Structure 1
Amino acid sequence: MKKYLLSVLAGFLILANINCTKEKPDSGIPECVQEKIKQLENEGVRNPPASIWQYDYKGQLVYFVPSFCCDFYSLLYDSNCNLICAPDGGLTGKGDGKCKDFFTESKNGKLIWQDSRK
């Protein structure tokens, strides 16, 4: 009976340890976007929290990084982290004007990362 209890306890500890390991970013996220996540994690905590969103836009997956302040541009990158445009932000709040249709034409928005630090 003692061996049985020790086996159950060992199994429980192994399962508990597996569930406590920190998850790695989704391998479906491009490496350059994972690098952007690391850069944001190395910066100070923002309010609102830093985040990265994935969208379908004009036939490609794109990555939207909202600005932490309305006077700065939010940035839109392709899957190779080439800057496409700034859909919003800046002094006018309307971005750089290069993708005025982003918010009406983008689809399937999905939050892929948000800073959980407080």
Structure 2
Amino acid sequence: MDDKIQAHLNAKAENPRIRILSYQYRGQTVYYETSPCCDQYTTLYDAKGNVLCAPDGGITGRGDGKCADFEKNRTAEQLIWQDPR
């Protein structure tokens, strides 16, 4: 996640601010990265930084459908990082 955070800091600030949160989901720690705006997918990563799915966003707001149960089954939310700009 450090590389992702640094990439955001090197890019222009977004509105709304990008946030990265951690959750427990399907027995593992995962990281949820918000999208900058409208109709863009959010991204869910495993602990190694591999993309698991897009749980929400896109034109329908329902993501890519690969983890449709994320919102319902996620637990232990923690804010990892929020763009301070």
Same fold (TM over 0.5): yes
1:54 matches 2:48:
no
CA RMSD of aligned residues (A): 0.6
Tell me the TM-score normalized by structure 2: 0.97
- As a proportion of its length, which structure holds more strand? 2
> How many residue pairs are counted as aligned between the two chains?
85
The secondary structure found in structure 2 opposite 1:63 is strand
Structure 1 segments (4+ residues) deviating >4 Å: none
- Aligned residue for 1:112? 80
Displacement after TM superposition at 1:70 (Å)? 2.6
Displacement after TM superposition at 1:69 (Å)? 1.3
Deviations 1:9-53 (A, max 9, x none): xxxxxxxxxxxxxxxxxxxxxxxx111110111111111111100
Displacement after TM superposition at 1:68 (Å)? 1.0
Asked if the contact 1:52/1:65 (under 8 Å) is kept, the reply is yes
Tell me the TM-score normalized by structure 1: 0.70
Alignment counterpart, residue 74 of structure 1, candidates 26, 42, 59:
42
The alignment-based identity, stated in percent, is 49
- Aligned residue for 1:38? 6
Which of the two has higher C-alpha Rg?
A: 1
Deviations 1:58-99 (A, max 9, x none): 000000001111311000000111100000001111000000
What CA distance in whole angstroms lies between the structure 1 residues aligned with 2:38 and 2:30? 21
What CA distance in whole angstroms lies between the structure 2 residues aligned with 1:98 and 1:70? 20
